[in-house]
Amino acid sequence: MKQKPYIIANWKMNLDRLGIERFFSNFSPDEEVFTKLKVVICPSFPLLEFARSQAKEKIAIGAQNFFWEAQGAFTGEVSARQLASMGIKYAILGHSDRRRIFNEDDELINKKIQLALQFKINPIICLGETFEEKEAGLTKKVIKEKVATCLRDVQPFDVKYIIISYEPIWAISTNPRNIDDVADTPEEAQVMHKFIRKIIAELYNDSVAASLPIIYGGSVNPDNAGGFAKMDDIDGVLVGGASKEGPSFGKIIISFLANK
């Protein structure tokens, strides 16, 4: 059985306290929304508690990352253990920003996934191909390898805590090639989501694959969210730039619900 769709906001290194106050003053979805989907908002580390104090009870607050060890002499880092002690239940892992700027690879992300599961944090695993890989016809090969490596040693009973976000790197708003308006089409994204589900079925079984939320992250906005919602294998969206303003994020939720 499929879970409720996820609408996840990744604020990246944006929004201070004033910005968060402004966001929530302009973002107040009807209670009915939460009966139909799950909303997760991921602010920067120092503002996790403040964001939670401003959010409705049914809005989950998640982290954007954490370190690959549970504790130790790692100045400036934040651990899954610390996040769990705060009641954080979601964390984005393997975002293209982390891969591109901080050279994180799938082996490292696998370590983080293991820690997330250990501390009862739902990992939101981001993976996708670069423009060069896409142009070379390597997309499916790259994605299959990433899924297999990221989920290595993850047991079938733990997969239900995982969310996969297909995030074609060339399609995100901060893509290194600086191309505007390059979001994947819903139909193209559906092909890849169905392919990822097939990989999960091969690694585990059809039941595990059917229940795993696979969401799309790549320049999602109020204008295209509904198109992604119509696709059978797209179980939500991970929203970057368009999630920073309450009205914009609210429109994405409304559009997704109206078309799912």
pLDDT digits (tens, 9 = 90+) for 35-70: 999 999 999 999 999 999 999 999 999 999 999 999
Q: Which CATH class is domain 6-259?
A: alpha beta
Buried b (16+ CB within 10 A) or exposed e, 67-105: bbeeeeeeeeebbbbbbbeeebbbbbbbbbbbbeeeebe
Cα distance between the two ends of the chain: 16
Work out the average pLDDT over 117-126: 99
**pLDDT confidence of residue 10:** 98
Per-residue pLDDT averaged across 199-206, rounded? 98
Out of 132, 167, 188, 193, which one is annotated catalytic?
167
Return the pLDDT at 81.
99
Token digits for 201?
């079925």
172 has a pLDDT exceeding 90: no
Average pLDDT over residues 222-240: 98
Residues 102-106 have a mean pLDDT of: 98
* Per-state percent for the chain, helix, strand, coil, to nearest 5: 45, 15, 40
Task: Flag whether pLDDT at 175 surpasses 70.
Answer: no
Average pLDDT over every residue of 173-192:
73
Computed over every residue of the chain, the mean pLDDT equals: 95
Q: Is 193 a catalytic residue?
A: no
Q: Residues 73-102: what's their mean pLDDT? A: 98
**pLDDT surpassing 90 at residue 180:** no
Report the side by side order of strands in the sheet with 38-42.
Answer: 60-61, 38-42, 6-10, 236-239, 214-216, 163-166, 122-127, 90-93
Q: Which of 95, 104, 129, 133 is catalytic?
A: 95
**pLDDT of 82 higher than 90:** yes
Nearest to 8 by CA among 166, 128, 194, 119: 166
Catalytic residue flag (residue 95): yes
SS3 83: helix
Percent of the chain predicted with pLDDT > 90? 92
pLDDT at 227 over 80: yes
pLDDT computed for residue 178 by the predictor: 47
State how far the Cα of 87 lies from the Cα of 49, in Å rounded to an integer: 10
Residue 237 confidence (pLDDT): 99
Q: What is the pLDDT of residue 184?
A: 84
Please state, in angstroms and rounded to a whole number, the distance separating the CA atoms of residues 77 and 34: 33
pLDDT tens-digit map of 4-19: 999 999 999 999 999 9
Checking if the pLDDT of 176 tops 60, the result is no
- Does the pLDDT value for residue 177 go beyond 90? no
**Sign of the C-alpha dihedral computed for residues 66, 69, 72 and 74 taken in this order:** negative
